[in-house]
Amino acid sequence: MPQEETDWESLTFGYYPTDYNVRSYYSKGVWSRPELCADPMVAVHLAATGLNYGQQAFEGLKAFRCRDGRVCLFRPEENARRLQSSCAGIMMPEVPEDLFLEACQLVVKHNRRFVPPYGSGAALYLRPLVIGMGPHVGVSESSEYLFSIYACPVGPYFKRGVTSVPVVIQRSYDRAAPRGTGRFKVGGNYAASFRAMHEAYEEGYQGGCLFLDPQEKKFVDECGSANFFGIRGKTYITPQSESILASVTNDSLMTIAGDLGLSVERRPVPVEELSTLNEAAACGTAAVICPISKIVDLDTGRIYGYGSEPGPVCRELYDHLTGIQSGRLPDRHNWLREVDLKSETT
């Protein structure tokens, strides 16, 4: 899949094979040096804790080809720290930040022919994983782990420009339990949202569902795989909860909102407050921002409408963040980390 042969315009947000992944192994209290691997398959013991007890965590971040030709990662330190939090939360050894960053550099460098060109709207997506590999039949943590990063080029989430989508409030399901693993990026949280999201899509809600707090069903929590935020006047509002994953994208947008003169509020957001918002959206690595046209509460019959087109603040936030990621706008917060494509280290 050389660059000159790739139809970047038709690239979707999905899995595409690349040349290499990077792996490091944990045994006897030590992580090994990261190594390149061309095999996309992993041999896993049937009794591994990752398979039997869900002892697994992951991350998602992107590398971009900038306007000046550099290839840069976007805020990889934040992903490293969030992975450490997830690992600690489910009793896995934390991946040192320097190991995480070295592995990111290696996987991008050795898959550099898959980094999409500037202006294509596409990027190289990185998926770091930590998996419990040791066999255990009793319910306990493993003593052996795999840390790996694979990469694949992904197209823009919106093929025809940013569009607004409807969302349904889901009260019949919980994404995560109160004081459970909701604030960690572990696979079980996503599996727990599959049925609710599937039902939302089947009913025509392209944006999926919006979960409420799992304890009282009184406060907005987050969307199936993304944080939620709303705009009221000149204020950026996003929920705060023990069951919400801390989003690097949301954190970046809050900073940019402040740069643009908006005040930022991160706090519990009652469902009733949805009627006071001028704009609403989901945000995450994949879409950056996914504007919401309306939120439908089937249990109460309420419909919270925000217009069929993305609002002006969502557009400005989206343009600003993607401008920084692509090098089109100044990186005033030092978020970009250039990948050393010339180094001979492996």
Residues 6+ apart with CB under 8 A from 285: 60, 61, 62, 125, 248, 249
User: What per-residue confidence (pLDDT) applies to 1?
Assistant: 47
- Please give the model's pTM, rounded to 2 decimal places: 0.95
Domains of the chain plus CATH, in order, are 3-154 (3.30.470.10), 165-325 (3.20.10.10)
At which residue do the structure tokens 């944006």 appear?
207
pLDDT at site 346: 46
Per-residue pLDDT of 179-227, as tens digits, reads 889 999 999 999 999 999 999 999 999 999 999 999 999 999 999 889 9
* Token digits of residue 237: 């509002």
For 168, the token pair is 């349904």
Alpha helices by DSSP H, listed for the chain, are 49-52, 76-89, 97-109, 187-191, 194-202, 248-259, 312-325
| DSSP-assigned letter for residue 113 | G
Give, as one character, the DSSP assignment of residue 112.
Answer: G
Q: Which residues of the chain have pLDDT under 50?
A: 1, 346
Looking at residue 311, what is its pLDDT?
97
